[in-house]
Every structure is written in structure tokens, then in C-alpha cells.
Amino acid sequence: MAEDEAVVLPLCASAALEEGGAAHVWDVLEHGRPARAFALRFDGVVRAYMNRCLHVPVELDWQPGQFLDSDKRFIICSIHGATYEPEDGRCVGGPCGRGRLTPLAVKEQGGLVHWYPSADVRPAPPALAG
Ligand code: FES
């Protein structure tokens, strides 16, 4: 685990994540399987989650990188409208039950957004990244 904690990867420029704007989406390996994650800015803070609905394990965005509802208040699933609190990923409406999106550790520093991979969610090899 100590080796994982030492890995820090730049994701994108801080300026690329505008309040209420498009998210940065990237490829990861979750427990060794290809998956996608996203980072967006909400109330000035960058939050990142696995791009997977709790209702059915599909990606959430209704257009590439677009995760927020029309009021820019909640993360919304494009399939059946499950809504999630951007601050903590908690399900607040629709068919996502009492769960929450899987959070990923991110931090802004020096004008960049950095991701801290974990033992469960690791960087995808370049051949898998798209
Ligand atoms: S798949 Fe997301 S609400 Fe049904």
C-alpha cells in the first residue's frame, strides 16, 4: 500500500475544470478490469468518482464529460435519471438506493489536478487508455 500512496498522477489543468462544466474522464483499471473515472468541479472543489451508476453498472454521462443535470446541481445518470450529490457521491434520488458513487482521491496543486491511485483503482496502461 505504501507504494500506491506514493503514486501521484497529473490528470488535467485546474483551469480545464470549470464550475458546472464538463468533467475530465479517464481510463483506469479497477481491480484489474478496464473502467472509467471522472473529475469535475462543484462549489469550487474538484471531486472524482468512478463513472458507474449504482442502479445498473453503466457509465453516467449523457454526453462525453457531461454529468450534471440542467440546473448544475446534481450528478445525473443518463439512463434512468438516478441523481447523486456531487460533494460526496451520495444517491439522493431515483433508482440508486442508499449507496454512493465510488470516490477517488484528487487534489489540486500548482495549477494541475492530481489523482492518487489506490490499490483498487490504478492507472490504465497506455495501450488501454483512450
Ligand atoms: S442505470 Fe443509472 S439510473 Fe438506471
Q: Give residue 10 CA to ligand 1 midpoint distance, Å.
A: 30
- Global pTM reads 0.92
Q: Which domains does the chain have, with CATH numbers?
A: 2-123 (2.102.10.10)
Q: Give residue 113 CA to ligand 1 midpoint distance, Å.
A: 28
Indicate which atom in ligand 1 lies nearest the CA of residue 53: 2
Residue 1: per-residue pLDDT: 44
Q: Does the CB atom of residue 107 touch ligand 1 within 6 A?
A: no
User: Residue with the nearest Cα to atom 1 of ligand 1?
Assistant: 56
pLDDT digits (tens, 9 = 90+) for 23-39: 999 999 999 999 999 99
pLDDT digits (tens, 9 = 90+) for 8-23: 999 999 999 999 999 9
The answer to whether residues 83 and 69 touch, using CB atoms and an 8 Å cutoff, is: yes
